[in-house]
Amino acid sequence: MRGLSTLWMRFRRNRGAVAGAVTLGLVVAAALVGPLLYPVDPFDMVGQPAQPPSASFLLGTDVAGRDILAGILNGARISLLIGVLASLAATVVGVAFGALAGYYGGWVDDVLMRVTEFFLTIPSFVLAVVVVAIFQPSVVTVTAAIAVVSWPSVARLARGEFIAQRGRDYVQGCRAIGMPDWEIILLQIMPNALPPVIVVSSLMVATAILTESGLSFLGLGDPNLVSWGYMIGVARTVLRTSWWMSAIPGAMILVTVLAINLVGEGLNDALNPKLRKR
Amino acid sequence: MTTGTASPALEVRGLVKRYPVKGGLFGGGRVVHALDGVTLSLVHGETLAIVGESGCGKSTFARCVVRLEEPTAGSVLLNGADITRLGARALRPLRRHMQIIFQDPYASLNPRYSIASLVGDAMRLRGISGRKERRRRVAELLETVGLGAEFLDRYPHELSGGQRQRVAIARALAAEPEVIVCDEPVSALDVSIQAQVINLLKRLQKRFGIAYVFISHDLSLVRHISDRIAVMYLGQIVELADTSAVRARVLHPYSQALFSAAPVADPGATARKKRIILVGEVPSPIDPPRACRFHTRCPYRQDICAEKAPELRPVEGRLVRCHFAGEPGFPPMPAQEAAMHG
Amino acid sequence: MSAPVLAVDGLTVEFRTALGTVRAVDDLSFTIGEGETVAIVGESGSGKSTVALALLRLVPDPPGRIVAGRVRLDRQDLLTLDDAEIRKVRGRRMAMIFQDPMMALNPVYTVERQIGEVLRLHLGLPRQQVFDQVVELLRLVGVPAPEDRARQYPHNLSGGMRQRVMIAMALACKPRLLIADEPTTALDVTVQAQVLELIQELKSRLGMAVLLITHDLSIVAETAHRVIVMYTGRKVEEGATAEIFADPRHPYTGGLLGAAKWEENEGNELREIPGAVPSPFDMPRGCSFAPRCAVALARCREHAPALADVAPGRPVRCFVAQEAAR
């Protein structure tokens, strides 16, 4: 595709974005192959508790004597999985709401946007806590909770894009040849409205990872799985004596979120023709 | 060409379009009177031009006729069938009979799709299935509009303005319409390209018998291409006449001023020509003048013009909306001379 | 006629882009005398708007650069002036009006303040005189109720009024040369007639020279004394307006006229110029018009013709026309 190659050319010019992409690539690789190359169960008590990093335990052990490296590698899977799935779900729901509201306008718009605003007015982290607390904490409920608090911003953005596009002559021309609405929405407007949405969704992955960490920190993560937030939560009581226990997963969160933000910004510059000129 | 016995391809009866004015704390209740009872019809193979200045409602008319906007009142009949109250689903299969070509060919083609798919869409929706068959027909159509089959796999951004407008025309033709509404189809194009596109439109009309509603502000172009001309002012038709009659003389004071104001590409004519310069500008359609809408700018205004709205009535084989049209020597001279220069 | 107000000699402007260097204006020479209106006619890509910017030294640099030529306003060479000096020329001795008045008007200042700024800057008028002057200028350009209008903002005004305000601003210092770049393209016909009439009237009253830049031949026919036809950055023909319209010598001029005289061809096919303006990155080798020209010879595709007089005061850049004149 010609579009993709020019997109890549523009993306490549942005040094921060490339650095972010490389870093993110390393984190993803660690999540995918790490647990295979380093097959230690993160819940196994493999040594003395609270050991600093050493030759036998590269990143030390936690308060229960579990291997922190194993936790980091397995936690990467959970954090990324939940981050990506939650953003995807939020994007699908948000775009659907925004597209319908923006394209049809009128009462459809009014109803859908009132619903969206209802979600927007509730502080998102509190809402996520409530959703997880009501259902059993698990990967599915945590993902769902994050998606529930994230979709409204996507919906608003998508609505704005659809309103801007629906009045354009090319859309009017499609109506004039008798194209059905679903086709105009999905095949005509969507490709033109999607670039800014993609940028926001990619940035949302970072927010989702942070939210997941926050939930796990509060003990609202999936109890059967290790995540970075869970590791920090476990280590918070010994922060003063064994700082690396929380610093290491904390650094991972920081690096991953930063990398995703850099990639998102890079995508934005590459996709948004107005910003490109500056 | 006048209507005669042939059944009209398109008939518009008393079309009204009002928009509520949005914004402003106390903006409630204010209304834009974009169209105010427009009635006209056109037969197969005819070109009816609609001219007027910005705010006269000509573009709103175009969009209401092809039902891209919903008229507030009045009806649009396509081949005798009223399409005004049809729901979206019932309307869709009828849409192909009437197409629209927009002014800006840069905005009217989706940049994401190739020419083959843009033009092929209209065929697909008409039920021509089979990608190969469509491709063959699109290639034929591109040939018809003066582009070759080599354009099939190109994208809009690779084309010049004139080429894009040809693609837009091919796309409209793919629906095999009886009526095409052309909304300023050449005013975004370079002068040397305009003639190419106009010639193409005329050729296609001869070949396929399509009727055009030709919306333009270029009076000289309109007199070249149309069979009849409707002059609009603030949402109303003020004069509707055969083009040959317009060339000889116009009867409404606004038509007179409009045609006399249009510059003529003939330095000799300029010296001979007397121009009527109207005072001020077109009033806002939010609060159009009462009675005769033109009375605030009319050089021949009388008391009655501010009191009673004139009807669009037959005068000397045409329709004119003026109390005094048809009186001997009205409107006074300069019009005749200006309008006669070609 | 005495020395010309404006004398342009060999003006050449280039733009450097990622795809290569483009010559937007190529060796252009012309003069405008006092009280004269000269029109530059061309399509998009002809370089006509770049000429206007180059005269005012407003070509964005980079990517643009004036690489050669002389521009003299009343014998003073403008291209050698430093920035402070050229600023004194702009707006005072040479002013410009644009197609879109909102380009020249600042939306956050009142009409009085914008026109007043020019007066204070260039003429150093004291504050109390400025308002009277502004009102006087607005009256001159036919703005009704000038005292009220002066206190309004550009967005309060209609398109035609904005155009008048911009003209008032351009005329504030009674410039020697007024450059009008598509001054009426955005306006309705009846308003266009008002504005053209206004420019004509002010020109004779103030004795300005006017450079009119347009694509519209009918406006040229009504307002200009002389016409310069440009194609792909080069002058292809020049002459008195009446002569150009009656007897165009360059095939491109002929084509443009044919395409503009719709009505004379009523019912018939219009004379059209085939093809489109070539891309500046893909210029034909010989005459740049040859690929679209109906009378092109083999020579035209190989060599680019030079300008040569085919009659007194009628330079034409065309082998065929030059041949015929011999």
**Domains, chain C, ranges and CATH?**
34-49+81-226 (3.40.50.300), 242-325 (no CATH)
| Residue A105: Cβ-neighbour burial (10 angstroms; 0-12, 13-18, 19+) | middle
For chain A, which domains are there? Answer: 2-38+59-276 (1.10.3720.10)
Mean pLDDT across C183-211: 83
Is there an interface between A and B (3+ Cβ pairs < 8 A)?
Answer: yes
Whether B6 shows a pLDDT value over 80: the answer reads no
β partners of residue B43: B8
Whether B336 shows a pLDDT value over 70: the answer reads no
Please check whether residue B315 lies inside any domain of the structure: yes
Range of the structural domain that residue B203 is part of: 8-97+177-340
Are residues A99 and A158 in contact, defined by beta-carbon separation less than 8 angstroms?
yes
Report strand pairing: B179-183 vs B211-216.
parallel
Please check whether residue B20 lies inside any domain of the structure: yes
pLDDT of residue C320: 92
Whether B27 shows a pLDDT value over 60: the answer reads no
pLDDT of residue B101: 94
CB contact under 8 A, C263 and B282: no
Mean pLDDT across B185-195: 86
C257 Cβ contact list (under 8 Å, min separation 6)? B265, C217, C245, C248
CB contact under 8 A, A178 and B107: no
Q: What is the pTM of this model?
A: 0.82
Is there an interface between B and C (3+ Cβ pairs < 8 A)?
Answer: yes
- Interatomic CA distance for residues B138 and C43, integer angstroms: 31
Work out the mean pLDDT of chain B and round it to a whole number: 87
Work out the mean pLDDT of chain C and round it to a whole number: 87
Q: A110 CA to chain B: closest CA distance, Å?
A: 16
- Interatomic CA distance for residues A174 and A151, integer angstroms: 29
Whether A133 shows a pLDDT value over 50: the answer reads yes
- Among A124-133, A268-277, B103-112, B287-296, whose mean pLDDT is lowest? A268-277
Write the pLDDT tens digit of every residue in C82-138: 888 888 888 888 988 888 777 778 888 888 888 888 888 888 888 788 888 898 888
Task: Reduce the DSSP state of residue C119 to 3 states and report it.
Answer: helix
Whether C326 shows a pLDDT value over 90: the answer reads no
Q: Which two tokens stand for residue C112?
A: 């009085």
- Closest residue on chain B to C252 (Cα): B192
Mean pLDDT across A20-26: 91
Report strand pairing: B98-101 vs B179-183.
parallel
Please check whether residue B332 lies inside any domain of the structure: yes
pLDDT tier at C235, thresholds 50, 70, 90? very high
pLDDT of residue B171: 94
Mean pLDDT across B114-139: 91
Write the pLDDT tens digit of every residue in C48-57: 989 999 998 8
Q: B199 CA to chain C: closest CA distance, Å?
A: 6
Whether B187 shows a pLDDT value over 50: the answer reads yes
- Interatomic CA distance for residues B334 and C286, integer angstroms: 49
- Among B17-31, B84-98, B238-252, B315-329, whose mean pLDDT is lowest? B17-31
Burial A24-53 (b: 16+ CB within 10 A, else e): beebbebbeebbeeeebebeeeeeeebbee
DSSP string, A188-253: IIHHHHHHHHHHHHHHHHHHHHHHHHHHHHTT-S-TTS--HHHHHHHHGGGTTT-THHHHHHHHHH
Task: Reduce the DSSP state of residue B91 to 3 states and report it.
Answer: helix
Mean pLDDT across C157-183: 86
Whether B167 shows a pLDDT value over 50: the answer reads yes
pLDDT of residue B272: 62
Count of CB atoms within 10 A of residue C318's CB? 27
Of C189, C259, C271, nearest to B262 by CB-CB distance is C189
Please check whether residue B112 lies inside any domain of the structure: no
Specify the number of domains making up chain B: 1
CATH code (residue B193): 3.40.50.300
- Among A60-74, B319-333, C16-30, C67-81, whose mean pLDDT is lowest? A60-74
Please check whether residue B190 lies inside any domain of the structure: yes
pLDDT of residue B335: 42
Kindly provide the residue ranges of all beta strands, DSSP E only, lying in chain B, ordered along the sequence: 8-20, 31-43, 47-51, 73-78, 81-82, 98-101, 179-183, 211-216, 228-233, 236-242, 313-315, 318-320
Mean pLDDT across B97-114: 91
Mean pLDDT across A193-218: 86
- Among A176-180, C67-71, C123-127, whose mean pLDDT is lowest? C123-127
Mean pLDDT across A119-144: 86
pLDDT of residue A275: 44
Sort out which chain B residues have CB atoms less than 8 A from A177's CB and list them: 95-96, 99, 121-122, 125, 171, 174-175
Q: Give yes or no for B318 touching A (CB within 8 A).
A: no
Please check whether residue B310 lies inside any domain of the structure: yes
- Interatomic CA distance for residues C265 and B199, integer angstroms: 11
